[in-house]
Amino acid sequence: MSAPVLTTRDRIIQAAIQTFARDGLQGATTRVIAQEAGVNEVTLFRHFQSKEGLLAAMMSAIVQKSHEHGLGETAEWSGNLKKNLRRFADEFYASLASDEAFIRTMVGEAKRHPEHAKKLIMDAVKPVRDRFIANLEAARKAGLVRRGIDLGVATDAFTAMLFGGMLRMTAGFDWGYEAEQFVATCVDIFAAGISPAPKP
């Protein structure tokens, strides 16, 4: 099956993501982005008007991708908690790893460009976080998550563990285990931490 043909606009956005990831937000120029996309600068400006306009469109594309990616949310969370957590963790990790270079750039640029970092967090990350918390709440109502735990803090701890692990695992070092084992261990630890204590 052949890959879908990208529109000129999509090609420019894809080239921008790669260029910003490689050169940083400051270092990436519209000339280089246009070259990477196989178009001239006039075409880029016709579609996006400016570098800021291109950056905004690129952010929107990443946000859209995060919304389209279900991240393990297709099933009811009132069933097997560990299975649901593993499905979410696998898809969350894969989603992060697919944009790893750009994510590293945004982490590095967050203090210099807080408005872009804030937009990415509020528009792309927060909806995923909110849905995950809602799923944990459903699991808690089913008796699978213990009472008294702050689900927002728990969610941030779990996703931070996966996020930090992704950055570590994709850094090119041999840690003596694969990403799959890391994700499975994160799920084991988190599930044990939020599950109700067994009845004596």
Mean pLDDT over each residue of the chain, to the nearest integer: 85
Instruction: Tell me the CATH number of domain 70-194, given options 3.40.50.720, 1.10.357.10, 3.60.10.10, 2.70.98.10.
Output: 1.10.357.10
Contact (Cβ atoms closer than 8 angstroms) between residue 69 and residue 97: no
In the three-class reduction of DSSP (H, G, I as helix; E, B as strand; rest coil), residue 149 is classed as coil
Give which of 63, 29, 67, 30 is closest to 47, Cα–Cα: 30
Q: What CATH number does the domain located at 8-62 have? A: 1.10.10.60
Q: Is 5 exposed, middle or buried (0-12, 13-18, 19+ CB in 10 A)?
A: exposed
Cα Rg of the chain (Å, integer): 20
Is 0.95 surpassed by the pTM of this model? no
% of residues, the chain, pLDDT over 70: 86
Domain with CATH 1.10.10.60 in the chain: 8-62
Residue 114 has pLDDT above 60, yes or no: yes
Residue with tokens 């090609």: 11
Domain with CATH 1.10.357.10 in the chain: 70-194
Contact (Cβ atoms closer than 8 angstroms) between residue 12 and residue 4: no
